[in-house]
C-alpha cells in the first residue's frame, strides 16, 4: 500500500516503513505516521504541547515501544540513520536504524534520552546514537 | 518510504556526472566504477582523486537529509594513506569540482576516518550542519589514496556512507 503526502501542494506517494510512529494526545486523539485514511504524516505535524505518548509500532513485528511524553519539559526526537556499509563489495548492505526519544528542555543540547531500533530490530537505550557500531 | 539517496561521482574535465555508482574503486585512471586490476597504481604514486556526492533523488516523505558521515574500514596495505576533505571541524566549505588528478589537492589533506565519525564530516551547502530539504547534492567528498614506494598489492579497504533522515 502507498500513502499520500502533500509537499507544498504537490501530491507524493510514500511507501510504509517497517517501524512507524503513532502519537497519542491528551485529548484522546491519535495521529499516525501512516494514517488509517491512507495519508502520510511528518513528525513535524505532531503538536508536542498535547502529546501524551509517542509509540513506535510495526505491522510485521509484535513489539511496541512507547515513550510517555510531557510537552512542557520534553522535545521530541525522531529520525532514521541510513548507512551504506562496505560500499562496492560483495558484503555491501544498506541498513536503517530508527531513532526516537526526547531532549529535556532547559538542559544542555546533548542531554537526551533515546531508543534506537537497530537494523536487527533490537532496541537499544542510550543517550547518544553515535555509540552504535554498524559493523 | 526511505528517501532515495545514492552516491554520484564526477569525472573528466567536462565534469561527467555518474549517478548511483556501484563502487568507489581507485586507481590510475579518472573513471567511475573502475577496475583497479586494469588500472593499478605504481607504488609511490597517488590514485586519481575521487569527487563524490550524496545525491538525493526522492525525499520519500522525509523533511530533511543531514548529518553526513563517511569513513573507511579495513586497513590500507603497507604505508599507504587515504586523504580527504571530510573533517569534523574547521570545515573549509563546499569544495569545487576540478578535473581529477594524481597530485595533492588543496584541502584534501585529512586522514579518512577508520570508524564512524561522532558527528558529520561532510557538509551540505558548505556547512557540516547543513541539510537538504528537497532533491539535490551534498558537497563534494574528495578523497585519494597515497601509496608508498614499498607497498605491494593485496589489501582491500572499503568506503561507508551514512546520513540522517528526518521524517
Q: Number of structural domains, chain A? A: 1
- pLDDT for res B1: 63
Mean pLDDT of B95-119: 97
Nearest to B65 by CA among B153, B146, B129, B142: B129
Q: Given an 8 Å threshold on Cβ–Cβ distance, is B158 in contact with A82?
A: no
Using CB atoms, pick whichever of A15, A40, A87 lies closest to residue B161.
Answer: A87
Q: Given an 8 Å threshold on Cβ–Cβ distance, is A87 in contact with B7?
A: yes
pTM reported for the whole predicted model: 0.94
Using CB atoms, pick whichever of B1, B63, B158 lies closest to residue A89.
Answer: B158
- pLDDT for res A120: 92
Reply yes or no on whether the pLDDT at A66 is more than 90.
Answer: yes
Residues B123-155 have pLDDT tens digits of: 999 999 999 999 999 999 999 999 999 998 877
CB B52 within 8 A of CB B146: no
- State the Cα–Cα distance between residues B81 and A7, nearest whole angstrom: 45
Domain coverage including residue A7: 3-131
* Residue A135 confidence class, pLDDT cut points 50, 70, 90: low
Residues B63-85 have pLDDT tens digits of: 999 999 999 998 898 899 999 99
- pLDDT for res A69: 97
Mean pLDDT of B24-32: 97
Q: Where are the domains of chain B?
A: 1-167
At B129, list the grid cell: 550542519
Mean pLDDT of A60-87: 96
The answer to whether B7 contacts chain A (CB < 8 Å) is yes
Nearest chain A residue to B21, by CA = A88
CB A99 within 8 A of CB A116: yes
Q: Given an 8 Å threshold on Cβ–Cβ distance, is B160 in contact with A14?
A: no
Reply yes or no on whether the pLDDT at A97 is more than 80.
Answer: yes
Closest-CA distance, B24 to chain A, in angstroms, reads: 6
At B109, list the grid cell: 589533506
Percentage, residues of chain B above pLDDT 70: 99
ipTM value of the model?
A: 0.94
Question: How far lies A117's CA from each of A81, A122, B19, B66, in Å?
Answer: 10, 6, 30, 19
Q: Taking an 8 Å Cβ-Cβ cutoff, which residues of chain A contact chain B?
A: 3, 5, 7, 12, 14-17, 33, 40, 42-44, 78-89, 91, 96, 130, 132-135
Return the sign of the alpha-carbon dihedral for residues B104, B109, B113, B116.
Answer: negative
3-state SS string over chain A? CCEEEEECCEEEEECCCCEEEEEEECCCCEEECECCCCEECCHHHCCCCCEEEEEEEECCCCCCEEEECCCCCEEEEEEEEEEEEEECCCCCEEEEEEEEEEEECCCCCCCEEEEEECCCCCEEEECCHHHCCCC
Reply yes or no on whether the pLDDT at B61 is more than 70.
Answer: yes
Mean pLDDT of B29-42: 96
Nearest chain B residue to A132, by CA = B116
Q: How many CB pairs under 8 A join A and B?
A: 86
Mean pLDDT of A57-78: 96
Cβ neighbours for B80, distance < 8 A, ≥ 6 positions apart: B145, B146, B147, B148, B151, B155
Using CB atoms, pick whichever of A15, A78, A83 lies closest to residue B167.
Answer: A78
- pLDDT for res B48: 98
Mean pLDDT of all residues belonging to chain B: 95
- Chain B residues with CB-CB distance to A79 below 8 A: 164-167
Mean pLDDT of all residues belonging to chain A: 93
Q: Given an 8 Å threshold on Cβ–Cβ distance, is B1 in contact with A14?
A: yes
Nearest to A3 by CA among A46, A36, A43: A36
Q: Distance from first CA to last CA of chain A, Å, rounded?
A: 32
H or E element, residue B17: strand B16-18
CB B159 within 8 A of CB B69: no
Residues B86-97 have pLDDT tens digits of: 999 999 999 999
- pLDDT for res A48: 98
Reply yes or no on whether the pLDDT at A109 is more than 80.
Answer: no
Reply yes or no on whether the pLDDT at A107 is more than 90.
Answer: no
Amino acid at each position: 500500500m502507498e500513502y499520500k503526502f502533500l509537499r507544498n501542494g504537490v501530491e507524493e506517494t510514500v511507501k510504509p516503513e517497517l517501524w512507524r510512529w503513532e502519537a497519542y494526545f491528551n485529548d484522546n486523539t491519535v495521529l499516525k505516521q501512516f494514517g488509517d485514511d491512507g495519508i502520510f504524516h511528518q513528525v513535524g505535524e505532531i503538536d508536542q504541547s498535547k502529546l501524551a505518548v509517542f509509540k513506535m509500532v510495526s505491522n510485521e513485528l509484535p513489539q511496541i515501544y512507547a515513550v510517555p511524553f510531557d510537552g512542557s519539559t520534553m522535545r521530541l526526537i525522531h529520525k532514521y540513520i541510513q548507512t551504506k556499509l562496505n560500499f562496492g563489495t560483495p558484503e555491501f548492505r544498506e541498513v536503517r536504524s530508527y531513532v526516537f526519544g526526547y531532549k529535556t528542555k532547559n538542559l544542555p543540547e546533548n542531554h537526551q534520552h533515546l531508543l534506537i531500533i537497530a537494523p536487527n530490530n533490537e532496541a537499544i537505550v542510550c543517550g547518544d546514537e553515535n555509540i552504535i557500531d554498524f559493523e | 518510504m526511505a528517501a532515495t539517496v545514492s552516491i554520484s561521482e564526477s569525472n573528466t574535465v567536462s565534469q561527467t556526472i555518474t549517478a548511483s555508482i556501484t563502487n568507489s574503486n581507485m586507481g590510475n585512471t579518472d573513471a567511475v566504477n573502475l577496475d583497479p586490476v586494469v588500472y593499478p597504481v605504481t607504488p609511490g604514486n597517488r590514485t586519481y582523486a575521487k569527487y563524490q556526492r550524496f545525491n538525493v533523488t526522492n525525499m520519500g516523505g522525509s523533511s530533511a537529509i543531514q548529518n553526513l558521515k563517511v569513513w573507511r574500514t579495513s586497513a590500507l596495505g603497507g604505508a599507504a594513506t587515504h586523504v580527504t576533505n571530510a573533517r569534523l571541524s574547521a570545515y573549509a566549505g563546499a569544495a569545487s569540482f576540478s578535473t581529477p588528478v594524481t597530485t595533492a589537492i588543496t584541502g584534501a589533506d585529512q586522514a579518512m576516518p577508520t570508524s564512524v565519525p561522532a558527528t558529520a564530516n561532510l557538509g551540505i551547502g558548505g556547512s557540516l550542519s547543513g541539510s537538504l530539504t528537497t532533491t539535490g547534492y551534498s558537497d563534494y567528498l574528495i578523497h585519494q589514496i597515497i601509496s608508498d614506494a614499498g607497498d605491494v598489492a593485496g589489501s582491500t579497504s572499503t568506503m561507508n556512507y551514512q546520513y540522517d533522515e528526518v521524517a
